[in-house]
Amino acid sequence: GTYQAVIKKSETLKIYIEQGKLYMDLSNKTGRHMVMQPLSQTLFLLPDVMRVRTTAEFRRENGKVTKAIFTQEKAYEWIKIK
């Protein structure tokens, strides 16, 4: 799906499955085809981000993913828009 940053609405990211693995692309082109390694059913590690440990946790409402919380020292909320 596509997610929009809560603090900077011009930034989006796309999360997709390719060959059975989850990947992410950032709209600002600073990160493309970054693998998301599962730590649990909802928590993922982004090992391609080297400078600081980065995780993504998906949140559900009524069984559907509605947002992702990305953590890089601080938590950043991204709302699912597509």
Arithmetic mean of pLDDT, 54-80:
96
pLDDT at 29: 83
Model pLDDT for residues 18-47, shown as the tens digit of each residue: 999 999 999 988 889 999 999 999 999 999
Q: Which amino acid is at 68?
A: A
Q: Above 90 in pLDDT, residue 60?
A: yes
Gap between the Cα atoms of 22 and 56, Å rounded: 12
Q: Considering the entire predicted model, what is its pTM? A: 0.90
Model pLDDT for residues 3-18, shown as the tens digit of each residue: 999 999 999 999 999 9
* Residues facing 43 on adjacent strands: 57
